[in-house]
Amino acid sequence: MAKAEAMRRPGSPWTGGFRHKAARSRATLVAIAVFVLLFLVTDWISPGPMTYFDVSFLASGGTTLALAAIGQTLVILSGGFDLSAGAVISLVNAVLAANMSMTDMEASVAEWTAVGIGVGMLVGAFNGFFVAFLRLQPIVVTLSTMFIVEGGTLLVLEQPGGFVAPTLGSFYMGDAVPNLLPAPILLLGVVLLAWAWLKRTRYGLALYAVGSDPASAAAVGISVPWVRFATYVLAGGLYGLAGVFISAQTGSGDPLVGNSLLLSVFAAVVIGGTRLGGGKGGPVGSVFGAYTLMIVVNILLALNVSAYFSSIAEGAVLLLAVLFASFSKTSVLADQIRHGLAAARARSAGLLVAQRPKADRRLAFAARRGAASAGGVELPGLFRRNAETIRYAAPAYVALCLVLIATQFVLGNVLVNFGYWNALFVLSTFLAILALGQGAVILTGGLDLSLPWTIALSGILLAGMVRGSDPALLYALPIVLAVAAAIGLLNGIGVVMLGLSPIVVTLAMNGILQGAALLYSNGTPSGFASPALRWFMTGHVAGVTPVIPFLAAFVIGATVLLGRTSFGRRVYAIGNSLEAARLSGVRTGRVIIAVYVLSALSAALVGILLTGFSGQASLGMGDDYLLPSIAVVVVGGALITGGRGHYLGMFGGALLLTALQTLLAGTTLPYAFRAILFGCVVLAAVVALRERRTS
């Protein structure tokens, strides 16, 4: 479908009439409609009419996000993923603020804009090199870049401060035409016009082609690596421009200013109708997606939504916007309803497959083959059979060994120190458990962003119910796990039944859970872990912390679950091809829902164990686990687009990241260098994972 779409790009003789065009850009049109609707709502509920100044403020408020979202859209159209967007914005802001001179009040706008865009493009070229030419997975390359850039930003500008010349501010924040056209809208207009031109060039055509189907694109003579490289460079330039804009808007520098934009950028792109995985959508929708996200702030204010409810309301708006955008005759929800009705009709007519008499309908040769292999046909050796798994999982362990040796040299007292191994395994437990859930979700081609507050809510619920009493664990643990299962179920239903992007569903869920945690705890989580739970995480039996045998059992169980059960095989089948899996009789919907339940259960388990480890639960206790949970899965050899990866590899990834953090924590290096080193090591680990065949 997407391929056909790429062939019908304007310029080809296939260009249809207006109706065809409208159908093709339906997602974009709906994104615009959603924004216009929210804008009218805002206008209606706000005291006083919308003046030019209100519009001007709204315009400048969303511009940074919109510019970054345009860049991200290009990357996603090419089939990629860019986690470094927020970090680049911070870097450009820091570079400008640190280098502009206080004495030069008339600094040239063009010159500094070029500097900002140039810095962004350099980072983009770095990403592009590894993604396009070394064929590394975008998510892990850009994650490493994010750490490196964040560290670099702190070297450029250690703390908020610096100076940005007012000329920049008056140029970008002023009026292009007084009382008619604010400069930010003109800026976005120019960028979108440039895109409209670019889309019609060979590059634009190639971008959609590469995103839809890289193999076909290569077959028709498109240089896939160069298209990808150019896309990352272009996207970097747009993040750079966003950084310039935020500098103009704030008049100074803050090394953390862009980092928190990252998730909003993805949300904006998805609300704008661009499909993750490439080939479909466009930047125009993303711009309106960005403004939709920003205008929510005004709506919450006008409705006086209480603080604890704001993240819930926001999650709801996010879901509704996407749901609204996705509803049409061909939407998944409509499909599901049609299928359900058809199944009901078939059942009443007695024609449903499940109603046929149960009998062995296997073809005759399937049985023969099984008999033959039992009869002594030699299986290939263990190594041959698992060669692929080993090739993808091994680098994590090789890197782990290197880190351990480095730790021995730098800190000493490691390899033969039992305490070190004990601490390493205890600290790895959290990521190892998360890796199962997040890994299974990633294997099916999804992503679970609701981990942070699933962890925190589980911990807070547990501590609140247990209040230091061991017997209470007996009922508290099942309740917490049941709540988590319900969370996972809702995530899964949103993804499967409503057909929404996993990113949006889980991001919205994360916001809703945050609100739930705040409401439950009234802002101050009370209660604490029971002695048994604390002992489990921090006690010692013959020098071993009790959680370690549990971890060992978990690793074995997880390996079996993903590698040796029919559930595991179905997960891989879906990751390789959803359609093929469905046609082979896998009930894909159920498996995908189960995967999200598994992920939520893993997160809840981590929440419980963290509560035992810390002795209490706190708000925000899960915040530091989201990106690492993705990193360990990918470093362990899993493919973010699904279908490839082994749990043992992910476990290796968890050990590697923990060992690396332990090494860095033992030094007195400044944080900036640690972040850079961390990014470099992760990148180096995956360079070894490189696929050697051409894609």
Partner 1 sequence: MTSYVKQLALAAGLTCAFVAAAPAAEKHKVFLSMSYIGNDWQAEAANMVKALAASKDYADKVDLQVQVAGPNAQRQIQQINAMVQAGAEAIVVYPISPTALNQVVKNACSKGVKIVAYDAEITESCAYNVTIDQEEAGRKTAEWLADKLGGKGDIVLITGVPGTSVDIARTKAAKEVFAKHPDIHVVGEAVGMWSQAVARTELSKLLATRKWDDIDGLWMQVGCYTANAMQLEAGRSEDKLVPCAGEGSNGGRIQALAKGTEVEGASSPYAPLGAPRISYASPPYSGALALKLAVDMLEGKDVPHHTTLPLPLVTNDTIKLCETGSWEEMKNGCNTFKPSIVANPGWFGSIFSDQLPQLGLNAALVGQPET
Of residues 632-671, those binding partner 1 (CB under 8 A): 661-662, 665-666, 668, 671
The residues in 523-542 that bind partner 1, with binding defined as CB under 8 A, are 523-528, 534, 538-540
Between CA 2 and CA 212 the distance in angstroms is: 6
Q: Is 82 in the site for partner 1 (CB under 8 A)?
A: no
Q: Residue 305 CB, nearest distance to partner 1 (Å)? A: 5
* Contacting residue, 7, 29, 41, 186, with partner 1 by CB under 8 A: 41
Taking the least distance from each CB to partner 1, the nearer of 37 and 552 is: 37
Residue 283 beta carbon to partner 1: minimum distance, rounded to whole angstroms? 19
CA distances (Å), origin 39, targets 29, 60, 73, 288, 485: 15, 15, 23, 11, 37
Please count the residues of this chain forming the interface with partner 1, following the rule CB under 8 A. 107
Residue (521 or 641) nearer to partner 1, CB: 521
Which residues ranging from 415 to 454 are in contact with partner 1 (CB under 8 A)? 417, 419-420, 423-424, 426-427, 453
The pair of structure tokens assigned to 596 is 């999200």
What is each CA distance from 395 to 276, 681, 684, in whole angstroms? 28, 12, 10
Determine the interface stretch with partner 1 among 177-185, 209-217, 519-527, 681-689 (rule: CB under 8 A).
519-527
Cα 607 to the center of its chain, rounded Å: 20
Q: Which DSSP string do the residues of 207-235 spell out, in sequence order?
A: HHHHHH-HHHHHHTT--HHHHHHHHHHHH
Specify the residue, 46 or 336, whose C-beta has the smaller distance to partner 1: 46
The minimum distance between CB 326 and partner 1, in angstroms, equals 18
Site string for partner 1, 451-470 (x = CB under 8 A): --x--x----------xx--
- 589/615 with CB nearer partner 1: 615
Distance CA 253, CA 624 (A): 25
Which member of 30, 32, 58, 683 binds partner 1 (CB under 8 A)?
Answer: 58
Residues between 282 and 311 with contacts to partner 1, criterion CB under 8 A: 294, 297-311
Give least dist CB 605 to partner 1, A. Answer: 16
**What ranges make up the beta strands (E) of 467-597?**
none
Listed in sequence order, the residues at least 6 apart from 38 whose beta carbon sits closer than 8 Å to its beta carbon are 292, 295, 296, 299, 317, 321
Q: To 5 degrees, how large is the angle CA 532–CA 538–CA 539?
A: 70
Those residues with Cβ within 8 angstroms of residue 450's Cβ, 6 or more apart along the chain or in another chain: 487, 491, 506, 507, 509, 510, 513, 600, 603
Tokens at 239, concatenated: 């993040």
The DSSP line for 81-142 is --TTHHHHHHHHHHHHHHHS-TT-TT--HHHHHHHHHHHHHHHHHHHHIIIIIS---HHHHH
Q: Footprint of partner 1 on residues 310-349 (CB under 8 A)?
A: 310-313, 316-317, 320
Contact segment (CB under 8 A) with partner 1 among 56-64, 345-353, 571-579, 635-643 equals: 56-64
Cβ closest to partner 1, residue 9 vs residue 467: 467
Q: Find the binder of partner 1 among 471, 566, 620, 684 (CB under 8 A).
A: 620
Structure tokens at 79: 């089939």
Is there binding between residue 624 and partner 1 (CB under 8 A)? Answer: yes
Least distance to partner 1 from the beta carbon of 267, Å?
11
Distance CA 239, CA 233 (A): 10
The correct pick among 340, 623, 684, 690 for binding partner 1 (CB under 8 A) is 623
Sign for the CA dihedral angle at 46, 185, 291, 87 comes to negative
CA distances from 485 to 54, 437, 439 (A): 44, 12, 17
Task: Find the part of the chain contacting partner 1 (CB under 8 A) among 14-22, 44-52, 645-653, 684-692.
Answer: 44-52
Using rule CB under 8 A, residue 678 touches partner 1:
no
Among 519, 556, 580, 684, binds partner 1 (CB under 8 A): 519
Window contacting partner 1 (CB under 8 A); options: 28-36, 45-53, 229-237, 278-286 = 45-53
Contacts with partner 1 in 188-227 (CB under 8 A)?
Answer: none
Q: Kindly state the smallest distance separating residue 525's Cβ from partner 1, in Å.
A: 6
Task: Compute how many other C-beta atoms are within 10 angstroms of the C-beta atom of residue 454.
Answer: 31
Determine if residue 251 is left, alpha or beta; phi over 0 gives left, psi from -120 to 50 gives alpha, anything else beta: left
* Pairing between β-strand 181-182 and β-strand 175-177 as defined by DSSP bridges: antiparallel
Letters for 590-619 (x = contact with partner 1 by CB under 8 A, - = none) are --------------------x--xxxx-xx
- Of 160-179, binders to partner 1 (CB under 8 A) are 160-162, 169, 173
- Residue 267 near residue 505, CB atoms below 8 Å: no
Q: Residue 475, interface with partner 1 (CB under 8 A)?
A: no
Using the minimum distance from each CB to partner 1, give the nearer residue, 99 or 538.
538
Q: 286 or 407, CB closer to partner 1?
A: 407
Which residues does 344 contact at the CB level (< 8 Å), separation at least 6?
A: none
Q: Give the separation between CA 140 and CA 148, rounded to whole angstroms.
A: 12
In whole angstroms, give the CA distance from residue 234 to residue 240: 10
Positions in 120-159 near partner 1 (CB under 8 A) = 153-154, 158-159
Residue closer to partner 1 (CB basis): 331 or 614: 614
The tokens for 222 are 């498109």
β-partners of residue 161 are: 253
Rounded to the nearest whole angstrom, what is the least distance from the CB of residue 599 to partner 1 in the complex?
20
Stretch that binds partner 1, among 104-112, 254-262, 594-602, 640-648 (CB under 8 A): 254-262
Binding to partner 1 in span 487-516, by CB under 8 A: 514
Which residues ranging from 370 to 409 are in contact with partner 1 (CB under 8 A)? 407
Residue 412 falls in which region: left (phi positive, over 0), alpha (psi -120 to 50) or beta:
left
Q: Does 54 bind partner 1 (CB under 8 A)?
A: yes
Write down the least CB distance from residue 298 to partner 1, Å.
5
Burial of 211 (0-12, 13-18, 19+ CB in 10 A): buried
Nearer to partner 1, 161 or 478 (CB): 161
Sign of the C-alpha dihedral computed for residues 545, 550, 555 and 556 taken in this order: positive
Asked if 535 contacts 470 with a C-beta cutoff of 8 angstroms, the reply is: no
| Shortest Å distance, C-beta 629 to partner 1 | 15
Choose between 554 and 625: whose C-beta lies nearer to partner 1: 625
